[in-house]
Amino acid sequence: MTLPDELPTDALSVDFDEETELRQTLNQQTAQLAWRELQRFFAQGRVIWVRSGLDLIEIALLIARDDADRIASVMTAQQVLPVPDEQAQHWFTSDAQLWAVVVKPWVLVQDVDD
């Protein structure tokens, strides 16, 4: 099979436009919430903790695109993981505010940097 000398630019722009639109949507849907508001999702096992230093929106994009290899990589490195009970307790007792964004069925959270 041979590839054409030039790829159709409209096909490339569709992927770019979809990615840009998804990124904008995730940005608009990201908000600071009190941990207490997220507890019921934690009880359902649906809260994922994105460690500081990672871009919350980029991780949300990986999950939305089902990029299994890259998700596995950050999970193996313990940079993205289900919220441990001890962390949930800490957030509860400190009345923590977290960044949160939903990528169904998950709620991704990240500490608010001061």
Q: pLDDT digit string (tens) for 31-72?
A: 999 999 999 999 999 999 999 999 999 999 999 999 999 999
d(C-alpha 10, C-alpha 58), whole Å? 24
CA–CA dist 71, 65 (Å, integer): 10
Whether the per-residue pLDDT at 1 is higher than 60: the answer is no
Which H or E run contains 106?
strand 106-111
Tell me which of 3-7, 42-46, 94-98, 102-106 is least confident: 3-7
pLDDT over 90 (residue 107): yes
Mean pLDDT of the chain: 89
Nearest C-alpha neighbor of 48 from the set 112, 114, 113, 105: 105
pTM score: 0.82
- Higher-scoring residue by pLDDT: 19, 74: 74
pLDDT at 3 over 50: no
Note the pLDDT of residue 74. Answer: 96
**pLDDT on residue 18:** 86
| 8-state DSSP, 66 | T
